[in-house]
Amino acid sequence: MKKLKRSARLVEMTHYLLARPHHLIPLTTFAQRYGAAKSSISEDLGIIKEVFEEEGIGDLLTLAGAAGGVKYVPRVGREQALVFIRELCDKLSQPDRILPGGYLYMSDLLGQPGLMNEAGKLFATAFGDLEIDCIMTVETKGIPLAYATGAELNLPVVLVRRDHQVTEGSAVSINYVSGSHKSLHTMTLSRRALKEHSRVLIVDDFMKAGGTIQGMVDLLDEFNAKVAGVGVLVESGEVDSEQRLLRDYVSLATLRAVDAKGKEISVEPGNYFSKFG
Amino acid sequence: MKKLKRSARLVEMTHYLLARPHHLIPLTTFAQRYGAAKSSISEDLGIIKEVFEEEGIGDLLTLAGAAGGVKYVPRVGREQALVFIRELCDKLSQPDRILPGGYLYMSDLLGQPGLMNEAGKLFATAFGDLEIDCIMTVETKGIPLAYATGAELNLPVVLVRRDHQVTEGSAVSINYVSGSHKSLHTMTLSRRALKEHSRVLIVDDFMKAGGTIQGMVDLLDEFNAKVAGVGVLVESGEVDSEQRLLRDYVSLATLRAVDAKGKEISVEPGNYFSKFG
């Protein structure tokens, strides 16, 4: 136990809460930690709550009763989300991203931990009220986004592999059809990785027709688990809605068109705001 | 510009700093942000600095002069690092991790964003004073650790792939020998991913003889880049020191022995403390 002045206590409590999103922290934890009365702790939390809400950092929920406490719930405000998504669209539209075949180079963006963490906070805002047991993604490029989302929601990440690895133990494999090329692929998940009846949030970096994500949904079936939601950083708008295998998902950006000849990429905000305005 | 009381300002500044590790923030940024005198901001920073240092959160460095400002440098204190590494060793020694062939199941631990972020903070403590331009890892299991380290050091992550992907553009491929089985593999890195003469911190989840990491070192040569450091979560101690390809690295845990018959796993702290005591 340590006696701190209110000012120092506020700094420490702010750090403590920010480091533990979606953890329920009993008031007694703070009271004991600082040797302070619960009433002082409540006042401190009131100050922190006001700043967190005004600055678009998140909510501070107070749960009353014996099993009660305080919980920091990260939430990005609408305005900040809009700024982030506009910046993302701008970056995605840089013409030097165009690769042979009309593919888009995104690895530099996916390689920025700060940007991934911010995107993860948007997904945590979108899915924070759902009952979810874990995040799932398939290797490779969606991994940082899945971890960023998992960190903000205090949830583990389950990683689907393309091949069965010796370090995964016994595993379940399925075949799936990647929508745009109709080519057949395999994905595999360790038996130990996912409990039965889990509610799973699927996260990925890019979705075209949705074949890869549909593959993960099929894999969940094998574990008697179910999808709680789907979040993708970028969706391709170059797909007929009839071709799309999946209808219920959240995207941060939509790739409308890639004109390799004219060196123009058209990107606009995804459906995030229509779902979580 | 918004006028905040000192208490609210402390909460906001704490969040602002924690969200921007290794960023140099001019005092005028805070002064303008809060419409406060620089002297008040300096006092606030003094309070935050004291708490950050006492609680083992990190340092708050003040750089004087026109280009000066304040920089939050995450640093895990020795005691906290010890607690974390002991817990990691305990978790790694759970006997149900043993897989056929004496392999160790670690995916549940690697799937915990909080644990990865904590390990990343240890690497940020170990390598925070070096001049580094980016973090490098090879897919798949080292990715979360590389991003956690990158986030704490404010550095981008460069991801080496096993196969050449169409979404990576032109790439450089090399062959390397995985030490323990002497089998030949390929790794590939997009030309765009790494600037010439970069100083690179290599991060991975597991190292046995060090063949995979030596492969990344060889790949760096192709980009005229160089290794600034190597950090691994777990090293295998089941390797003769003669067999080890790499001598200069930091490990958090050492896997001494896996006794598949007796169902015992022996894990002890890595060389972290001998290097960064």
Span A247-268, average pLDDT: 95
Which two structure tokens, joined as six digits, stand for B104?
A: 């160790």
Cα separation, B86 vs A236, whole angstroms: 46
d(CA B48, CA B125): 19
Residues of B in contact with A103 (CB under 8 A): 166-167
Confidence of residue B238 (pLDDT cuts 50, 70, 90): confident
Measure the CA–CA gap between B150 and B203, rounded to whole angstroms: 10
Q: Residue B132 above 70 pLDDT?
A: yes
Choice among A84-93, B60-69, B90-99, B246-255 with the minimum mean pLDDT: B60-69
Which pLDDT belongs to residue B180? 64
pLDDT above 80 (res B179): no
Report the CATH architecture of B6-74.
Orthogonal Bundle (1.10)
Contact B168 A111 (CB under 8 A): no
Q: Which of residues 214-273 of A touch B (CB under 8 A)?
A: none
**What is the CB-side half-sphere exposure of residue A253 using CA atoms within 13 A?**
23
How is residue B104 annotated by DSSP? Answer: B
Q: What are phi and psi of A201, to 5 degrees?
A: -100, 120
Q: Which residues, 6 or more positions from B105, have their beta carbon under 8 angstroms from its beta carbon?
A: A167, A168, A169, A190, A192, B96, B97, B98, B99
* C-alpha distances in Å from residue A267, one per residue of A102, A115, A142, A277: 14, 17, 19, 20
**pLDDT tens, position by position, A32-44:** 999 999 999 999 9
Is residue A199 within 8 A of residue A226, CB to CB? The reply is yes
* Tokens 């799936």 sit on residue: A176
Arithmetic mean of pLDDT, B184-202: 97
Residue A43 is predicted with a pLDDT of: 95
Q: Considering only alpha carbons, which residue of chain B is nearest residue A135? A: B111
Confidence band of A242 (pLDDT split at 50, 70, 90)? confident
Q: Are strands A157-160 and A98-99 parallel, antiparallel or unpaired?
A: unpaired
What is the token pair recorded at A241?
A: 């809605």
pLDDT for res B204: 98
Q: Report residue A239 as tokens.
A: 């797909």
Instruction: Let me know: does B259 contact B238? Beta carbons within 8 Å.
Output: no
d(CA A180, CA A203): 19
pLDDT, position B243: 79
Residue A30: Cβ within 10 Å count: 23
Cα A169 versus chain centre, distance: 27
Are B56 and B76 in contact by the 8 Å Cβ rule? The answer is yes
Cα gap A144→A113, rounded to integer Å: 8
The fold of B78-276 is Rossmann fold (3.40.50)
What's CA B274's distance to the chain center, in Å? 18
* Closest-CA distance of chain B to residue A54, Å: 10
Lowest mean pLDDT among A126-135, B79-88, B239-248: B239-248
Q: Helix or strand or coil: residue A125?
A: helix
Contacts of A167 in chain B (CB under 8 A): 99, 103-107, 141
Which helix (H) or strand (E) segment holds residue A194: the answer is none
Res A241 pLDDT > 80: no
Q: Alpha-carbon distance A93 to B241, whole Å?
A: 50
Surface of A (61-120) touching B: CB under 8 A: 99-101, 103-108, 110-114, 116-117
Question: How do the domains of chain A map onto residue ranges?
Answer: 6-74, 78-276
Chosen from B15, B168, B255 to mutate, greatest number of chain A CBs within 10 A: B15
pLDDT of residue A1 exceeding 70 = no
How far is C-alpha B192 from the geometric centre of its chain's CA atoms? 23
pLDDT tens string B69-91: 999 999 999 999 999 999 999 99
- Cβ-defined contact of A166 to B99 (cutoff 8 Å): yes
CB-based contact B11 A105, cutoff 8 Å = no
pLDDT band of B137, cuts 50, 70, 90: very high
Model confidence over A178-189: pLDDT tens digits? 866 788 999 999
H-run or E-run covering A183: strand A183-190
Confidence of residue A277 (pLDDT cuts 50, 70, 90): low
Nearest to A150 among B104, B113, B159 (CB): B113
Residue contact B193–A108, C-beta within 8 A: yes
The pLDDT value recorded for residue B277 is 59
For residues A92 and A255, is the Cβ–Cβ distance under 8 A?
yes
First to last CA, chain A: 44
Do the strands B157-160 and B134-138 form a parallel or antiparallel pair, or are they unpaired? parallel
pLDDT of A168 strictly over 70: yes
Q: For residues B176 and B158, give the distance between their C-alpha atoms in angstroms, rounded to a whole number.
A: 19
